[in-house]
Structure 1
Amino acid sequence: MSEGRRMTTRILRRPLPPHCRLRSDAYPVLALILCLCFHAAEAASPASGAAASFDAACRAYEKGEYEKALRMNMQVLQDGFVSAALLYNIGNCYFRLGDIPRAILYYRRAWYLAPSDADIAANLTFALHVLGLEPLRSNRLLDLLRRLSVLHWAVVLIAAYWILCVLVTAMLWNSRVRRLGRKIALLMAIIALVALLGIGSWLPLLLCPEAVITAPNTKVLFAPLPGSTLHFYLPQGSLVRVRRARDGWLEVEAGPGQRGWVQESFLVRILPRGLSRWNQ
């Protein structure tokens, strides 16, 4: 992290997505995809009560009333409205109140909904730096592919598929479009392949979801038993990947060669198991 990097103090005032009022439980992958769909939908303004509370929370934050802003934002979230802007603002409130692990949790949640947002990425990196944790690393190809969310890649794939179907049908019925149609069809096939790679880049994070360690100096054990041998410690705020669950224990991976079991109560999943649990 470069010297002199500062936290982005501004809040996001993007309107709440109009159709984000979801209360059904779902698996993490389905939960994320549904939330992304509603987050990206463009329609009429959201429910006036949620919008008013969101704006009031923004004003409270700007006045330095961070606890009040947090309460209002969490109420909006508890009412079932989810957006990257809301999660990001909650992260800012937690950061200002000194709860850095919770700030990391909500910044990371916001990142899943808006992976190309520079403010979200900068604040997440800064919060990790405050706790002395390494910034998240991935190769450049993954970073590039994850500039678009799963939903955006899915839209690209579906659009390319339907254009390809129309072109093939047109070429079968009209020989005059075959020459140009072949070139466009090849282009659509390449775009579809890139979209598949984009969706595939997200699968590791969806199949082995991330979580944030919320307890200080969490013990990671070799087995899911209270008396098991200690493997290593994880500092508060660490991001880990959840591999499997067993009787109130989770097998987590913090890095190469760092895999073990922790009690489920010592961490919070980035992607909640139900869309109504984003306020945990």
Structure 2
Amino acid sequence: MKRFRRYAIALLAGLGGAVVVVGVALAQSPSPTDLMAEANAQYERGEYSGAAQQYEALIDSGYEDAALYYNLGNTYFKMGELGLAVLNYLRAEELSPRDADIRANLELARGRTVDRVESGGEALFASVSNLARRWVTVGEMGVLSLLLWIASAFAIGVLSVWRAIPRRQAVRNGAVVASAATLLSFLLLLSMLYANPNDDSGVVVASTVDVVSGPGEQYETEFTLHSGAQVRLIDSRQGWVRIALPGDDLQGWAPSVAVEALRHGG
């Protein structure tokens, strides 16, 4: 029994020590806020390469924030990396679509690009989704749809339970309006979920890239794109990605390293 007690005490002491070590390690490791502040300080000092590395490390650790992508876009813009600047401004815009600074800097970066790629040829559902995403996020639209559904259900419930309710016509009109708004909001939400143009969107990050007719250097060049051009990703194969310009009038293959997907892991 005494031996068991000694083992138990030793085990508890070991666990306690491990907890203390882990706690000290966590306390000493910098928080995302500290890392962001350090990267911002490097940016202010003009140390753009170091700042970009810090921002990228934050993203690689799983931290995602509109301000982080915006700052990274600004950093790459200062470095003359238009493709990476456009890419990160787009990521920031998706998280904060009403931010005027993000939109202004995105347009500024696009204005410096060589290729003038006009959007067009989208299906109606995708066009509606694109328009909605310029003003609200998917999460915000989901909350709005839920609130409208609750309001319409409440109004319909009141009409069903209380037949002699005062101002019944006004409540009925409100129920009709709320129900119509609920239907519209759910349709917008569905379009944003299932017809999101960002799901297969990419940006040319190489200074120039020859787009060829097949997945290999031996194929004929179809056209050339430059840093910052936004494309649609169609397929990938052994270090090559098939891309298309808006409207799908021009398609071809480019090295995967020359194009980065808007979605991480895409």
Please classify the TM superposition score into its range, dividing by the shorter chain length.
0.7 to 0.9
Question: C-alpha distance in 2, partners of 1:94/1:135?
Answer: 21
Deviations 1:126-183 (A, max 9, x none): 1122223337657997546631112211211122122222322232222234533322
One of 245, 251, 257 as aligned partner of 1:254 = 245
Partner amino acid, structure 2, of 1:53 = L
Name the residue aligned to 1:236.
227
Deviations 1:56-102 (A, max 9, x none): 32233223332332233223222221100001001111111222211
Equivalent position SS for 2:196: helix
Name the residue aligned to 1:112.
94
Deviations 1:173-231 (A, max 9, x none): 22234533322222222322332353325644347521011233322233445433332
**1:214 and 2:199 correspond:** no
Name the residue aligned to 2:142.
154
Partner amino acid, structure 1, of 2:257 = S
8 Å contact from structure 2 (residues 199, 263) kept in 1: no
- How high is the TM-score relative to the length of structure 2? 0.73
**Which sections of structure 1, spanning at least 5 residues, go unmatched?**
1-46, 275-280
Structural RMSD (CA): 2.9
Greater RCO, 1 or 2 (C-alpha within 8 Å, sep 6+) = 1
Matched length: 228
Q: Which moved more, 1:265-274 or 1:131-140?
A: 131-140
Question: C-alpha distance in 1, partners of 2:152/2:132?
Answer: 25
Name the residue aligned to 1:265.
257
Partner amino acid, structure 2, of 1:188 = A
Q: Which moved more, 1:224-233 or 1:52-61?
A: 224-233
**1:166 and 2:154 correspond:** yes
Question: C-alpha distance in 1, partners of 2:113/2:193?
Answer: 26
Shift of 1:247: 4.7
Equivalent position SS for 1:176: coil
8 Å contact from structure 1 (residues 146, 201) kept in 2: no
Q: Which moved more, 1:112-121 or 1:239-248?
A: 239-248
Q: Which of the two has greater helix per residue? A: 2
One of 169, 174, 184 as aligned partner of 2:174 = 184
Question: C-alpha distance in 2, partners of 1:166/1:273?
Answer: 43
Distance 1:201 1:136, change over 3 A: farther
**Structure of larger gyration radius:** 2
Equivalent position SS for 1:175: coil
Equivalent position SS for 1:132: coil
Question: C-alpha distance in 2, partners of 1:201/1:136?
Answer: 21
Question: C-alpha distance in 1, partners of 2:217/2:56?
Answer: 34
Partner amino acid, structure 2, of 1:259 = Q
Partner amino acid, structure 1, of 2:207 = P
**1:194 and 2:184 correspond:** yes
8 Å contact from structure 1 (residues 145, 198) kept in 2: no
**1:78 and 2:60 correspond:** yes
Name the residue aligned to 1:126.
108
Question: C-alpha distance in 2, partners of 1:56/1:145?
Answer: 32
Partner amino acid, structure 1, of 2:174 = I
8 Å contact from structure 2 (residues 211, 254) kept in 1: yes
- How high is the TM-score relative to the length of structure 1? 0.70
Deviations 1:227-252 (A, max 9, x none): 33332222222110113344544332
Partner amino acid, structure 2, of 1:110 = A
Equivalent position SS for 1:183: helix
Name the residue aligned to 2:46.
64
Question: C-alpha distance in 1, partners of 2:50/2:254?
Answer: 33
Partner amino acid, structure 2, of 1:229 = E
Runs ≥4 in structure 1, deviation > 6 angstroms? 138-141
